[in-house]
Structure 1
Amino acid sequence: MKVPTALSARLPRLRRAKPTGMAGVTAPVRADRRTKNLTKRLRPGDIAIIDHVDIDRVSAEALVECGVSAVVNAARSISGRYPNLGPQLIVEAGIPLVDEVGPEIFAQVEEGERLRLEGGVLMRGDTVVAKGTEQDDESVKAAMIEARAGLAVQLEAFAANTMEYLRRERTLLLEGVGVPDLATQIEGRHVLIVVRGYHYREDLAALRPYIREYQPVIIGVDGGADALLEAGYRPDIIVGDFDSVSDRALACGAELVVHAYRDGRAPGLRRLTELGYEAVVFPATGTSEDVAMMLADDAGAALIVAVGTHATLEEFLDKGRAGMASTFLTRLRVGGKLVDAKGVSRLHRSRISPWTLLLLVAASLLTIVVAAYSSPAGQVYMTFLAVRWDAFLYWLTGLFA
């Protein structure tokens, strides 16, 4: 399997040679059981210690972009349940990947201490701290082939989760019961939903002409709000559980919608309350990107453009959780309103063509010339310009006389 095009374009500046011989990799270690939290603290050259079964593509891209020198996983990077996309990206970026060192590693290392990784062994001086299995391109490809063989089982589980979600949320999906009202005016407008997922930077860059022309309502989903600020846009609405949104994004003035559990529990609301922000609570099963789409649809959006969301079956499974079944059904509910960012960037053309602009400029110049000739002051000015032109021609001719 090849590295996706958008990521492979960035790999040359991140690629590094694999360690050989006894030199290995010696670098500070940073550890966290949640990869998403760890990437916020990682520095170029660090050894990342994670506990991530079936590393997905988004997490792998984040680790590669942080410039880590190695990834040590307490769990299995490919469990065999489905062909997850992350490990292939890591090894093709030239980053050593060591699997199954065990969860006890988090109690055995200190944040920032320098350790040495040789093959599948993590060492402190001459003492072995943890030992695992080093993955390479061949072992990852072999594991992926085995995982694809069991894909039918995952499809059956995905279908079962989809039916269970439909049973629990049928009133929300079919009738919109429980969708809160928003202060932001959406009726009849385009809505841009940004998730910090697959190729979000490239998609946002490609959508600049569309955003400039249509001025859509912009919704950031959790970390998507920070992605928007990085791209130079201010979100109108931020949706999510607020575990990965920066304080800077919360202070940008956007309307805040907390995605709560179906029973009403909203862990993210506590953080907002402590910071003094008011928020709307939306209890719903599923993912925060589903909540954003349902909010936009229920509020009467004319078109919903999605950036960084899941679009293919492989991406649904790559996320590796049952909640992704809700994403599939949400897309069925939204229907023809939903357009992927890549489709918009390919199809959108400015309604003002270059030829129209040229004609407008020509018409303006013609109007100025006519106005100049039709007024006494204009005639005097034109006579002055004619004299200056003759003087210029006389000077130019003199250079070659």
Structure 2
Amino acid sequence: MAMSLRRRTHTPAPGEGLIGPARVDARTKNLTKRLRAGDIAVIDHGDLDKVSADALVAARPAAVINASASISGRYPNVGPQILNEAGIPIVDAAGPGVMELHDGDQLRLDGADVWHGSTKVGTGRRLDADEIQSQMHDARAGLAVQIEAFATNTMEFIRKERELLLDGIGIPPIRTRIEGRHTLVVVRGYHYREDLQTLRPYIREYRPLLIGVDGGADAILEAGYRPDLIVGDMDSVSDRALRSGAEIVVHAYRDGRAPGLARVEALGITPVVFPAAGTSEDVAMLLADDAGAELIVAVGTHVTLVEFLDKGRDGQASTFLTRLRVGGKLVDAKGVSRLYQARLPARLLMLMLLVGLLALFVALSATPAGQAWLQVIAARWDDLWTAVVEIFT
């Protein structure tokens, strides 16, 4: 049981440790929106996943304090390794007491001890590279159990959602015209920024319909585009994206509860509500497939077992089965930025340089001042050529 902060008062250990203001939130994705460089992030995130770790690294905190175990042993999650490689200290399993802190509280880390003034608010363990590797090795042994759970979850999901998956029953109509078009489904997942950048020529040529899944809508805006459709439970998408003019589809629970509905309606927007089990990225793919999309290109979505486990076991089966239903329409662009980097051939660069020089010559020839410059350049060239000839003759 957590003790009151006022009751845990001790004399700090000698020697100054790392100092910084606290930023506290049990939901990491909410915390990273207000986290700034030099802050100390205080989270309660068991099995810290890659996407959350990447978001923390991008905010450049001075340290991360996790109330829970960053690696529980359930599966080999890579979040702590990402923080360690970025040089961000991690105080792990510091206990629930650290979640009683408030934004702005000045903290000091002495080893694995967390101090707020003269009060020690928690003690965890410092995760270094060796400790992380040891825990990851032990966690790999847990994958067999997770695969069994995945199989059980898959059968349960088929039983509950067979009409939706097999016949499309329950998919609501939308006004956005998708039939016969390419669609690009963007999830703010692994390597989404790099993949969107690499796909720019494809987007420019084919002009696919852009579907943002929750925060994926903001990723589309950040890339310089506008989403046509936004799908999700609306817990990580900005008001700016919701007001961008895209059609909104609120992903609701199977019983019809939609926590994100009130937020959308408060903005004066009337959304479509889609009650379905599984994840919002699955809902986006099912919508695109049911509406007749010719091709579905996915960016930042989840495809590997570890990624499914990062997302949470409840969503594994739906993602797996949705991909089976969509079938050959689906092209997964995740990681395409690491596979291919566009490069201009040397001959094309030379051609561009020659065209530029030709354009400059024509522009100079069209004006009296330019003609005078060309005469000066010609005279200097003639002098240079004469000097070179004299050297060799």
- State TM-score, norm by structure 2: 0.83
The residue number in structure 2 matching 1:365 is: none
- Which residue among 186, 189, 195 is the counterpart of 1:197? 189
Alpha-carbon offset, residue 22 of structure 1? 3.7
Q: Distance in 2 between matches of 1:279 and 1:395?
A: 67
Two-structure CA RMSD over aligned residues (Å): 2.7
| Structure 1, unpaired ranges of 5+ | 1-20, 363-383
Partner of 2:51: 58
- Say if 1:91 and 1:137, in contact at 8 Å, map to a contact too: yes
Instruction: Report the Cα offset of residue 150 of structure 1.
Output: 1.6
Runs of 5+ consecutive residues of structure 2 not aligned to the other structure:
1-13, 356-365, 387-393
Of 35, 42, 46, the residue aligned with 2:39 is 46
Deviates more, 1:118-127 or 1:77-86: 118-127
Percent identity over the alignment is: 65
CA contact (8 A) 1:210 1:348 kept: no
* CA spacing shift, 1:393–1:31, aligned 2, 3 Å: closer
- Encode CA deviations 1:328-373: one digit per residue, 9 max, x unaligned: 1110010011111158776899xxxx99xx9xxx9xxxxxxxxxxx
User: Which residue of the other structure, out of 60, 84, 99, is the alignment partner of 2:77?
Assistant: 84
Alignment equivalent of 2:261, drawn from 255, 264, 269: 269
Report the Cα offset of residue 55 of structure 1. Answer: 0.4
Letter in 2 for 1:306: A
Mapped partners of 2:92, 2:379: distance in 1: 81
- Aligned partner of 1:163 in structure 2 is 155
Deviations 1:290-344 (A, max 9, x none): 0000000001111100111012222112323322221011100100111111587
Match of 1:8 in 2: none
Deviation at 1:53, TM superposition (A): 0.7
Equivalent residue number for residue 207 of structure 1: 199
- Alignment CA distance shift 1:395-1:86 (3 Å): closer
Instruction: Please identify runs of 4+ aligned residues in structure 1 that moved more than 4 A.
Output: 342-349, 392-401
Q: How does 1:292-303 map to 2 (within 5 A)?
A: 292-303=284-295
Contact 2:40-2:61 within 8 A present in 1 as well: yes
Q: Deviations over 1:85-139 (max 9, x none)?
A: 11111111111111112123222x2211211011111112333121111111111
Task: Tell me how far 1:394 sits from its aligned partner.
Answer: 12
How far apart in 2 are the matches of 1:152 and 1:341?
Answer: 28
Residues 343/150 of structure 1: CA separation in 2 closer, same or farther (3 Å cut):
closer
Which residue does 1:95 correspond to in 2?
88
* Contact 1:85–1:318 (Cα < 8 Å) also in 2: no
Q: Does the residue aligned with 1:43 lie in a helix, a strand or coil? A: coil
Give me the TM-score of the superposition, normalised by structure 1: 0.81
Q: Distance in 1 between matches of 2:281 and 2:379?
A: 71
What aligned pairs does 1:182-261 form with structure 2 within 5 A after superposition? 182-261=174-253
**How many angstroms apart in 2 are the aligned matches of 1:114 and 1:59?**
24
Letter in 1 for 2:220: L
Which of 17, 38, 41 is the matching residue for 1:24? 17
Deviations 1:41-84 (A, max 9, x none): 10101100000110000001111111011111111111111111
Distance 1:119 1:136 in 2: 12
In the superposition, relative to structure 1, how do residues 216 and 348 fare at CA in structure 2: closer, same or farther (>3 Å)? farther
**1:127 equivalent in structure 2:** 119
Paired with 1:343 and 1:94, the residues of 2 have a C-alpha distance of 24
**For residues 319 and 156 of structure 1, what CA distance do their matches in structure 2 show?**
17
